[in-house]
Amino acid sequence: MTVPREGRIRVKIYYEDTDSLGIVYYANYLKYLERGRTELFGSGGTPIADWNRLGFAVAVYRVTITYRAPARLGDELDVVTRRVPGGSSYRVKLQQLVERQSQLITEATVELVCLDERFELREFPPEMLAGL
């Protein structure tokens, strides 16, 4: 029996992340989610840039993101990434939470596919998923 692992990164909020409402701009959370996924896919030992050179690109097929509370300048947020059971070697589903200490800021479900150099579907290499 394997225990599903989770990835966890810390994101600090700077001016670039905020907007004139004084809070983190809603599109920027997708950047933090992507940073979290990049670290997790690289945790098997091959960084994402190397995967790209080998002809494997991780592409987002669908995101559902819910905004629960605003974050602000200076906040330190945790991005937690876990694989959702199911999926296949062609499609991977992740749950990604953004938290500030114990408070939920945003929660997302992200469906991913793997593409080759011509942006055609291909199987995820098992090593890329080893960290999940």
Residues in the site for its own copies, rule: CB under 8 A? 12, 14-16, 18-23, 25-28, 30-31, 34-35, 38, 42, 47-50, 52, 57, 59-67, 70, 72-74, 119
Q: Closest distance between its own copies and the C-beta of residue 3, in Å?
A: 27
CB of 47 to its own copies, least distance (A): 5
Provide the annotated active-site residues: 19
What does the DSSP assignment read for 4-37? PPEEEEEEE--GGGB-TTSSB-TTHHHHHHHHHH
Residues 78 and 10: beta-carbon distance below 8 Å: yes
Q: Decide whether 4 or 21 has the Cβ nearer to its own copies.
A: 21
* CA quadruple 58, 78, 97, 22: dihedral, nearest 10: -100
Q: Residue 16 and residue 73: Cα distance in Å, rounded?
A: 9
Q: Are 13 and 100 in contact (CB under 8 A)?
A: no
Distance of closest approach, residue 83 Cβ to its own copies, in angstroms: 19
**Nearer Cβ to its own copies, position 2 or 105?**
105
Closer residue to its own copies, CB minimum distance, 3 or 122: 122
